[in-house]
Amino acid sequence: MINLVLFGPPGSGKGTQSVKLQEKYQLMHVSTGDLFRMHMRENTKLGIEAKSYIEKGDLVPDAVTISMMNNKIENHPEAKGFIFDGFPRTAAQAEALDDFLNKKESPINKMIALEVDDLELVKRLLYRGKDSGRADDQDEGIIQNRIDVYNEKTLPVASYYDEQNKYIAVKGVGTIEEIFDRLCTVIDEIID
């Protein structure tokens, strides 16, 4: 079992790279953003609650997010491991994930962070917003709020894993393949 957290600000390429990594390493990709969007499309109670936060670029409350993630893991006992994308995003989520995985004796092996500067992030998100249909990618104010929320609430999660010697950063600019190769180099070392 290998569990990875793919970390980085909105627009850093976590989703794109997770899809490629899932295929190469046969790990299950779990994106809390994708799960929330699925609930919103299906108009579930959770989706309706999440929408009010997501459309402003704020974080969905921890209790809702953590229980959604725990359910997802619990429902996939066949998984050989997980790539967590967009989770944990707060210190409380990181602690909850550790508790949950430690009980299963399959802790996080590594948090891999994609480093991209803010100007590049805004450019990428606005570009993605043209096709993705995501309202939160189309408004510069909402994008800026997501980046501010990341800096304030999510960045401390990197220190949390660093203290456990589980943090590594990778340059998140270049072609998709170049970034993918950098991630694979890190993951191959973990597996060896």
Distances (CA, A) of 174 to 27, 87, 107: 24, 24, 31
Residue 147 · residue 137 · CB < 8 Å: no
Considering the complex, what minimum distance in angstroms separates the CB of residue 83 from ligand AMP?
13
Among 60, 96, 111, 179, binds ligand AMP (CB under 6 A): 60
Q: Is 33 in the site for ligand AMP (CB under 6 A)?
A: yes
Among 5, 65, 68, 96, binds ligand AMP (CB under 6 A): 65
Pairwise CA distance, residues 178 & 111, whole Å: 19
**Quick check: is 146 catalytic?**
yes
Distances (CA, A) of 100 to 67, 103, 108: 11, 5, 10
With CB under 6 A, what is the number of residues at the site for ligand AMP? 17
Considering the complex, what minimum distance in angstroms separates the CB of residue 30 from ligand AMP?
10
Q: Lay out the site mask for ligand AMP across 152-191 (x = CB under 6 A, - = otherwise).
A: ----------------------------------------
Pairwise CA distance, residues 19 & 54, whole Å: 22
**Quick check: is 182 catalytic?**
no
Please identify, among the stretches 39-47, 72-80, 82-90, 172-180, the one whose residues bind ligand AMP according to the rule CB under 6 A.
82-90
**Quick check: is 14 catalytic?**
yes
DSSP character at residue 153: I
Distances (CA, A) of 44 to 39, 40, 65, 97: 5, 7, 14, 24
Q: Which of 35-66 are b and which e, b meaning 16 or more Cβ less than 10 Å from the residue's Cβ?
A: bbbebbeeeeebbebbbeebeebebbebeebb
Q: Residue 78 or 141: which CB sits closer to ligand AMP?
A: 141
Q: Which of 20, 51, 56, 134 is catalytic?
A: 134
Q: Residue 18 or 187: which CB sits closer to ligand AMP?
A: 18
Pairwise CA distance, residues 148 & 102, whole Å: 31
Considering the complex, what minimum distance in angstroms separates the CB of residue 84 from ligand AMP?
9
Q: Which residues carry out catalysis? A: 14, 89, 128, 134, 146
Which spans of this chain sit near ligand AMP (rule: CB under 6 A)?
10, 32-33, 36, 53-54, 57-60, 65, 86-87, 89, 93, 136, 146
